[in-house]
Amino acid sequence: MISKYLNLPRGLRIDIYNVPEDLEAQVQKTFGEYTEGTSSDYTDEDRLCFIDVMMKNIRQADPYDKVNEMIKDRFSWELEEQGRIMDSDEFYDGTDFFAECYEAGQKAAQLRYKCDDHHINDIVNPIIVRVIRAVMDWSPEV
CA separation for the pair 38, 32 (Å, rounded): 10
CA separation for the pair 87, 78 (Å, rounded): 10
**Domain ranges, ordered by start, for the chain:** 5-137
pTM beyond 0.95: the answer is no
Total number of residues shown for the chain: 142
Mind listing the pLDDT tens digit of every residue in the chain (142 residues)?
A: 567 889 899 999 999 999 999 999 999 999 999 999 999 999 999 999 999 999 988 887 678 888 888 888 888 888 888 888 877 777 666 677 788 888 888 888 888 888 888 898 899 999 999 999 999 999 987 5
Q: Where are the beta strands (DSSP E) in the chain?
A: 5-7, 13-15
CA separation for the pair 14, 127 (Å, rounded): 9
Other C-beta atoms closer than 10 Å to the C-beta of 124 total: 20
